[in-house]
A = this chain, B = another copy of it.
Amino acid sequence: MAKIAVVKEILNANDQVAAENRAAFAGAGVFVLNLMASPGAGKTSVILATAARLPQGVRPAVIEGDLASSIDADTVAARGIPVVQINTGGSCHLDAPMVRAALPHLRLDEIDLLLIENVGNLVCTADFALGADVAVVVASVPEGHDKPYKYPGMFAAADVVLLNKVDLLEVFEFDVAYFRRGLAMVNPDVPLFLVSCRTGDGLDAWVEWLLDKSRVVK
């Protein structure tokens, strides 16, 4: 009788580790965001604004990914939020092994929501799974309304998009409808939240969506 070889899909090394991270997070009941954006779009501000709006009992932690420096990690730590700094040493993105290396520095059993801030890069970060539940792309008004057209891969990879700095829509003559059309071309059903971390605009709606998605509220 002929034997039939069962061909198993071989995950690449990063995806394999990402799957292990995902299992570790799920096992500990931690919901995980991978925040990606251009440099200076406001990832750290979104993290702080999100953490500040979590209901009592939902415990956040942060992994900060940067080429160099601990500027953002220091900012997060100053708010009393557990944070681990990953310096990529030149690499343009976080990868799953880097996140795995950070895990021993976190008490997963004391965390409900883990916010991973990726390196500021609107291209490369989209290609490396970390094991997160939700890919959050933070765009910002000063970058211009054409970004979904120019960086389609990133916006296609998003599970949710935040457009930050909307208090400056008029200053930058930002056409929200044009941005929406570009986004819909590459990712038709992705939720979009218009927010301003400076004024607080739109952040409650974003956090409500996140909590509903994560079901971390106990």
Contacts and interface: CB of A to CB of B under 8 A. Distances in A.
B67 A153 contact: yes
Contacts of A153: 67, 90
A191 interface: no
Contacts of A92: 92, 121, 123-124
A140 to B, nearest CB: 7
Interface string A43-56: 00000000000000
A146 interface: yes
The interface residues of chain A, by DSSP majority, are classed as loop
Nearest to A92: B123
A155 to B, nearest CB: 11
A122 B165 contact: no
A72 B142 CA distance: 16
B151 A39 contact: yes
Query: Of A68, A142, A144, which is in contact with the most chain B CB atoms at under 10 Å from its CB?
Result: A142
A199 to B, nearest CB: 13
Contacts of A150: 39, 66-69, 71-72, 120
A149 B144 CA distance: 24
Nearest to A153: B90
A42 B138 CA distance: 19
A48 to B, nearest CB: 14
Contacts of A143: 38-40, 142
A2 interface: no
Interface string A154-188: 00000000000100100100000000000000000
A97 interface: no
A40 B123 contact: no
Closest CB pairs A-B (n = 9)? A40-B143, A142-B142, A92-B123, A38-B39, A69-B149, A40-B144, A39-B122, A38-B38, A92-B124
Interface of A: 38-40, 66-69, 71-72, 90, 92, 119-124, 140, 142-144, 146-147, 149-153, 165, 168, 171
10 contacts: A39-B151, A40-B140, A67-B152, A68-B151, A71-B146, A90-B153, A92-B92, A120-B150, A142-B143, A171-B171
